[in-house]
Structure 1
């Protein structure tokens, strides 16, 4: 007997379309005389960032590797609270990085507060018609004046007051 269940979901992947090649970016960076000397340190910092995030996944999500110079690693934390939490885990981080082959003897933490962009308040999108406002008003007045209905009546009253034209 055949099953009546539908076939499993199939992805419709179009073949033949080429994805952008990252080697073009790497070639540009390698040819650019001003950027090419920075490429090894950028790669080193990126791999250090991955290593640190793997060692301390919960703590290191918001932190960054700033630089590695003279066997001293500089890390950036977004606030003092996270910096102190990171400071408590430094012995573990240092030991794990040394086990993974990094030539690091000291780790320094800098608090670097990032500039936060204030989110604009959301614009009111829902507009009630006058008949809807009248229906909410009628509902508020039709409810019994009991303690169980007090919060609902107050909410309906605020909704009607906010949406009066």
Structure 2
């Protein structure tokens, strides 16, 4: 027995929606939507102005008192960004951004978990089949690789 009334209409299928669409549903989110749009526009301009290796690692913050906060992943990128700061400020001003300076901050990224090493195991029958195949092949890189693999797996008992 269902807990819903048979007269209730089925819910609409859920799908991913753009953030701008969600924020435009009510006026209460108008300031947040403006901030999100400003950050997206700043990110597009930074992507156009910065070299690829920097653009992928720089995140814009908000403009406060004429200073734009830029966040980088580590000190080396921050140092390189400081060298480009005068030109970057001039280019952003030319694109209409109301800023006088840039504050560069380091925001370390969380350490990604390393994958455990593979621990593939082969049965003795599989190792014997590889050994037999490597003995049938003519001398070649494939034959050598198969012989090494068979030897490695036949020694692990």
Pairwise same-fold verdict (TM > 0.5) = yes
Q: How would you bin the TM-score normalised by the shorter chain?
A: 0.5 to 0.7
How far did 1:89 drift? 1.2
TM-superposition CA deviations, 1:25-84 (whole Å, max 9, x none): 2333x34x3x43222222112111110111014112111001111110010000111111
Match of 2:22 in 1: 25
Q: What number of residue pairs does the alignment pair up? A: 136
TM-superposition CA deviations, 1:71-110 (whole Å, max 9, x none): 1001000011111111111122111111111111100100
Task: Indicate if the aligned counterparts of 2:23 and 2:32 stay in contact, CA closer than 8 A.
Answer: no
Task: Indicate if the aligned counterparts of 2:23 and 2:30 stay in contact, CA closer than 8 A.
Answer: no
The 5-angstrom pairing of residues 142-157 of structure 1 reads: 156-157=150-151
The CA RMSD over aligned residues, in Å, is 3.3
Unaligned runs of at least 5 residues, structure 2: 1-14, 137-142
Unaligned runs of at least 5 residues, structure 1: 1-18, 143-148
Structure 1 position 102 matched with structure 2 position 97: yes
Runs of 4+ in 1 over 3 A off after TM superposition: 19-24, 122-125, 135-142, 149-156
